[in-house]
Amino acid sequence: MAQTKKEISEAGQSIKTCDSQPNDNDDKSYNATLNLMHMKLNEETIVQHPTRVEIPDTFDDKQAENGLKTIDEVPDKEELDASKEIKQRNMILEEKLNKYDELDVDGILNVSSLNVTDNDVPLIIQRAFKNEKKKCVQLILRDNTLTSKGVKILVDQLLSIPNNLKSLYLSGNPDIGDAGIEHLSRLLQTNRSITILALHCTGITNQGVRILSNILCHHKTDSTACLEKLYISFNKLITDESLETLIQILEQNQTLKLFSLQNCSLSDNARRRLRKVATKKKSKKFNLSE
């Protein structure tokens, strides 16, 4: 190492003390000599101090050591926006439920158009029925994103707690479908207080109509729903295939006062037959207008 430094010094002195005038070639030669000497020094440093040569950690390793997330772990903009939207929705839902606790005088809980999901149902039920002094008699869940899973949660919770619910509005939740109607049938057979059920635009098909018929026309009185108003309008998958089932409901059910079937896919002939049957029961108001 000392010898190498000495060589550099001597080489530098020999160049600098040259009697001839400096020119471009001398500068280039001087720079080349210095570069060569520095390279030798670096090589010797590496040999004499091998422990100083380290393979650098990767960026992710450094980030992990510092407690930072790696690039793959950082949520993208869509995830952040979705999380923000969920928090905002939950805040709105909480605010509305808090208002219910403070302002309810008629026993009405209206959480329409709040993008309520299946996972929100337990919180809603808790708020609606936790206060014994304020009995919820009307639960409005219109125009949300409930599915048959949410309806099952709703039914299971309502069957597990004392309540006097009279009106249930589920309209505008197109993913409820026939599976959701199946769950509701359990509720209607057990809960004798519900008299109004709104199911506009809930994805009901002809199968759903048959499920409703089974609880509206049951030969056992204690298993028959006590509905007075039933709305199944705007379900385009209800077709003429349901005609005989609908006639059965009109002829056999003794509690319905209003049965709304607007804007389903019934033919003119089917609607005429239903009107004819409905006129025989003066107590019913049968709505079939398109």
108-125: pLDDT as tens digits: 999 999 889 999 999 999
Q: Do 115 and 193 fall into the same domain? A: yes
Query: 99 and 37, same structural domain?
Result: no
Q: Which two tokens stand for residue 249?
A: 């409901």
Could you tell me the CATH number of the domain that includes residue 114?
Answer: 3.80.10.10
Give residue 43's domain range: 1-17+30-49
Is the dihedral angle over the CA atoms 212, 216, 220, 225 positive or is it negative?
positive
- Quote the Cα angle for 179-184-189, to 5°: 135
Q: What is the pLDDT of residue 102?
A: 45
Asked if the structure places residue 55 within a domain, the reply is: no
Supply the pLDDT for residue 174. 98
Pairwise pLDDT comparison (164 vs 135), residue with the higher score: 164
Measured distance CA(290)–CA(275) in Å, rounded: 13
| pLDDT: which is higher, 254 or 41 | 254
Number of separate domains in the chain: 2
Q: Is residue 62 part of a domain?
A: no
Do 117 and 3 lie in one domain? The reply is: no
**What pLDDT does 76 receive?**
74
pLDDT for residue 29: 57
Residue at 144 is within a domain = yes
Location of structure tokens 């009106």: 167
Same domain, 188 and 134: yes
Indicate whether 125 belongs to any domain: yes
- Flag whether 56 is in a domain: no
Specify the 3-state DSSP secondary structure of 59.
helix
Which of 49-53, 159-163, 188-192 is least confident? 49-53
Residues 42 and 178 in one domain: no
Q: Please give the share of the chain, as a percent, with pLDDT higher than 70.
A: 65
Alpha carbon dihedral 128, 134, 136, 137, in 10-degree steps, equals 180
Q: Is 6 among the domain residues?
A: yes
**What's the pLDDT score for residue 212?**
97
Do 144 and 43 fall within a single domain? no
User: Kindly report the CA angle at 228 between 222 and 232, in degrees rounded to 5?
Assistant: 110
Mean local confidence (pLDDT), 253-276: 93
Residue 185 lies in a domain: yes
Question: In sequence order, what are the residues at sequence separation of 6 or more whose Cβ sits closer than 8 angstroms to the Cβ of residue 288?
Answer: 261, 262, 266, 271, 274, 275
CA–CA separation, 152 and 95 (whole Å):
25
The Cα–Cα gap between 88 and 72 comes to 26
| 43-52, 59-68, 131-140, 212-221, range with the lowest pLDDT | 43-52
Task: Go through 37-56 and write b for each residue having 16 or more CB atoms within 10 A of its CB, e for each that does not.
Answer: beeeeeeeeeeeeeeeeeee
Does residue 109 sit in helix, strand or coil? strand
Tokens found for residue 134: 């304020």
pLDDT over 50 (residue 20): no
pLDDT at res. 152: 98
Could you tell me if residue 99 is inside a domain?
Answer: yes
Distance CA 134, CA 126 (A): 12
Same domain? 220 vs 114: yes
